[in-house]
């Protein structure tokens, strides 16, 4: 009986507080040595901006990556340019710049094919 009472109390507290905001992770893929946002990428960024604007207190992390071709320095620079372009597009769609953190990882630590490595992840609501 006591367990049912505690369970009921926890459910009531949960109903008052509500569920934690959901998180999303979206991915933009690129062609080799490109940082251009094609139509598909622009749609993904618009979706991310819509979600971010409807959840105005949650952070956004934009992380760029590159495939293993080229030098580590060139890959870091390219991954940064990719991430910055996505961040700029989010900001242009109304997301406040102070909510967006940009990181660049180059091609470090990937065990995937080159197409999957050429990407930017947009983590919405993730610290």
Q: Where are the beta strands (DSSP E) in 1-127?
A: 24-29, 60-64, 100-104, 119-124
Say what the pTM is.
Answer: 0.79
Give the contacts of 58 (CB within 8 A, at least 6 positions apart). 21, 23, 52, 99, 124, 125
pLDDT tens digits, 27-63:
999 988 899 999 999 999 999 999 999 999 899 999 9
What average pLDDT does range 8-15 have in this prediction?
41
pLDDT band per the 50, 70, 90 thresholds, residue 69: confident
| CATH number for the domain running over 22-124 | 3.30.1330.60
Q: Which residue has the higher pLDDT, 111 or 54?
A: 54
- The residues spanned by each domain of the chain are 22-124
């Amino acid at each position: 009986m006591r367990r049912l009472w505690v369970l009921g109390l926890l459910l009531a507290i949960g109903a008052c507080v509500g569920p934690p905001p959901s998180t999303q992770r979206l991915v933009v893929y690129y062609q080799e040595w490109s940082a251009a946002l094609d139509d598909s990428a622009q749609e993904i960024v618009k979706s991310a901006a819509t979600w971010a604007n409807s959840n105005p207190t949650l952070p956004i992390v934009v992380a760029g990556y590159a495939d293993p071709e080229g030098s580590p320095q060139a890959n870091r620079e390219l991954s940064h340019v990719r991430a910055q372009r996505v961040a700029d597009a989010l900001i242009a769609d109304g997301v406040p710049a102070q909510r967006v953190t940009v990181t660049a990882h180059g091609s470090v630590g990937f065990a995937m094919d080159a197409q999957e490595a050429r990407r930017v992840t947009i983590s919405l609501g993730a610290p």
